[in-house]
Structure 1
Amino acid sequence: MADDNEAGDFLWRRLERGARAPRVQLTHAQIAEAAIEMADAEGLDAVSMRKLADRLGVATMSLYRYVRSKDELLELMVDAAYEQVEIPEGADWRETLRARAWATRATYLRHPWLVRLGEPLTPAVTASADRLLATLDSTGLDADTKMVVLRTVRSYVNGIIAGEIELAELLRREGVSDMDELRHAYAPRMRWLLESGRYPAYRDYIRHGRRKDDTVWQFELGLECVLDGLATRLGI
Structure 2
Amino acid sequence: MAPQHPNPEPAEPATLWERIERPAKAPRTTLSHASIAAAAVEMADAEGLEAVSMRKLSGHLGVTTMALYRYVTGKDELFELMLDTAFAGRPPAAPAPGWRGAMRAHAERSRTTALRHPWILELTATQVVTLTPNVVAEIDAALGAFTAAGLDADTAMAAVQAVRAYIRGALADEIGQRELMKRQNWSDGDDLRHAYGPRMNWLMETGRYPAYRDYTKTARRKDDFAWRYDFGLDCVLDGLAARLGI
SS of residue in 2 equivalent to 1:109: helix
Aligned to 1:110: 116
Mapped contact 2:86–2:113 kept (Cα < 8 A)? yes
Aligned to 2:56: 51
Aligned-pair CA distance for 1:30: 1.2
Stretch of structure 1 that moved more, 80-89 or 138-147: 80-89
Aligned to 2:132: 122
Q: In 1, distance between residues paired with 2:35 and 2:28? A: 16
Correspondences of 1:21-36 after superposition (within 5 Å): 21-36=26-41
Q: Partner amino acid for 2:170?
A: I
Mapped contact 2:37–2:82 kept (Cα < 8 A)? yes
Work out which of the two has the higher radius of gyration on C-alpha atoms and give 1 or 2. Answer: 2
Mapped contact 1:22–1:62 kept (Cα < 8 A)? no
Give the alignment's TM-score, normalised by structure 1: 0.92
Q: In 2, distance between residues paired with 1:171 and 1:131? A: 35
Please say if 1:13 is aligned against 2:18: yes
Aligned-pair CA distance for 1:92: 1.6
Q: Partner amino acid for 2:108?
A: W
Mapped contact 2:96–2:105 kept (Cα < 8 A)? no
Correspondences of 1:73-92 after superposition (within 5 Å): 73-85=78-90, 86-89=92-95, 91-92=97-98
Aligned to 1:195: 205
2:104 counterpart (98, 105, 113): 98
Q: In 2, distance between residues paired with 1:63 and 1:18? A: 19
Q: In 2, distance between residues paired with 1:188 and 1:128? A: 44
Aligned to 1:170: 180
Aligned-pair CA distance for 1:139: 1.1
Q: Partner amino acid for 2:113?
A: T
Q: What is the aligned-residue RMSD (CA, Å)?
A: 1.6
Unaligned runs of 5+ in 1: 1-5
Q: In 1, distance between residues paired with 2:13 and 2:144? A: 28
Number of aligned residue pairs:
231
1:217 counterpart (227, 232, 235): 227
Mapped contact 1:35–1:52 kept (Cα < 8 A)? yes
Unaligned runs of 5+ in 2: 1-10
Aligned to 1:3: none
After superposition, what is the alpha-carbon deviation per residue over 1:149-205, rounded to whole angstroms, capped at 9, x for unaligned?
Answer: 111111111111010111012223434222101111111111111111111111011
Stretch of structure 1 that moved more, 132-141 or 185-194: 132-141
